[in-house]
Amino acid sequence: MRILVTAGPTREPIDAVRFISNRSSGRMGIAIAQEAAKAGHDVTLLLGPVLMHGSLHEKMRVYRFGSSAELKQMLEAHFSDCDVLVMTAAVADYRTEQASQGKIKRQSDAELTLRLQPTPDLVAAVASTKRPGQSVVAFALEEPLEMESRALSKMKLKGVDAVVANPLGTMEGEQITPLWLTAVGGREEPGRMSKDDFAAWLVDRLQGL
């Protein structure tokens, strides 16, 4: 299979040195891409601004993005060539209406107000362009008590084929307690495991899609 994976956070610029982002380490997406490449799949990884620990599989293609706008361009360029998109990237929900080209200077104790606008829903946008036989897997980071209901709602709203739901504590952690849901009614809870082990588990499920 040709598998496209996105991983890591986006950085939405405020000025030349500051940005809005989140705590995503990119570890989950990198692990999925690595396991898919080891399994012999044709893998492209779109990787955000994260520090790398160790080397990536030699046959994997890697492209780096910074902002959600850059990731959008890369998805538009690569999505049509894949069989499965695994969207683990943590795209910022908001960006500034107008980023300053220079560095914003502090004015003593004066307040600074930022006007924010929502970023585009990238996974919904690409899912709307799927061709027959093409699948999209989304990730949902949610409060534990609402995790399943919100993940099911997101899956339907975004038009994706499957969702991996996981609790908020997953971010930056080494382990995951996932819930696998599919649009055709599939539901599995493999239990708490390392992100590397889950990556191998998930790659097996991707072939079933």
Per-residue pLDDT in tens (0 to 9) along the chain, 209 residues: 999 999 999 999 999 999 999 999 999 999 999 999 999 999 999 999 998 878 899 999 999 999 999 999 999 999 999 999 999 999 999 999 988 889 988 887 888 889 999 999 999 999 999 999 999 999 999 998 999 999 999 999 999 999 999 988 777 778 899 999 999 999 999 999 999 999 999 999 998 88
C-alpha–C-alpha distance, residues 101 and 11, integer Å: 15
CA distance 86 to 29: 8
pLDDT for position 31: 95
Q: Which of 75, 76, 1, 67 is nearest to 32 (CA)?
A: 1
Domain boundaries, the chain: 2-92+116-208
22: annotated active-site residue: yes
Classified as helix, coil or strand, 123 is helix
- pTM for the model stands at 0.94
* Sign of the torsion angle spanned by Cα atoms 180, 9, 174, 36: positive
Query: Checking DSSP bridges between strand 175-176 and strand 162-167, what pairing results, if any?
Result: unpaired
Q: Which of 22, 96, 100, 175 is catalytic?
A: 22
The span from the CA of 31 to the CA of 38, in Å, is 11
pLDDT at 136 (0 to 100): 98
Cα–Cα distance, 208 to 26 (Å, whole number): 25
Q: At what angle do helices 195-208 and 27-38 cross, to 10 degrees?
A: 60
What's the fold here for domain 2-92+116-208?
Rossmann fold (3.40.50)
Residue 18 token pair: 């500051």
Which pLDDT does position 33 carry in this prediction?
97
The conformation of residue 157, written as its DSSP 8-state character, comes to H
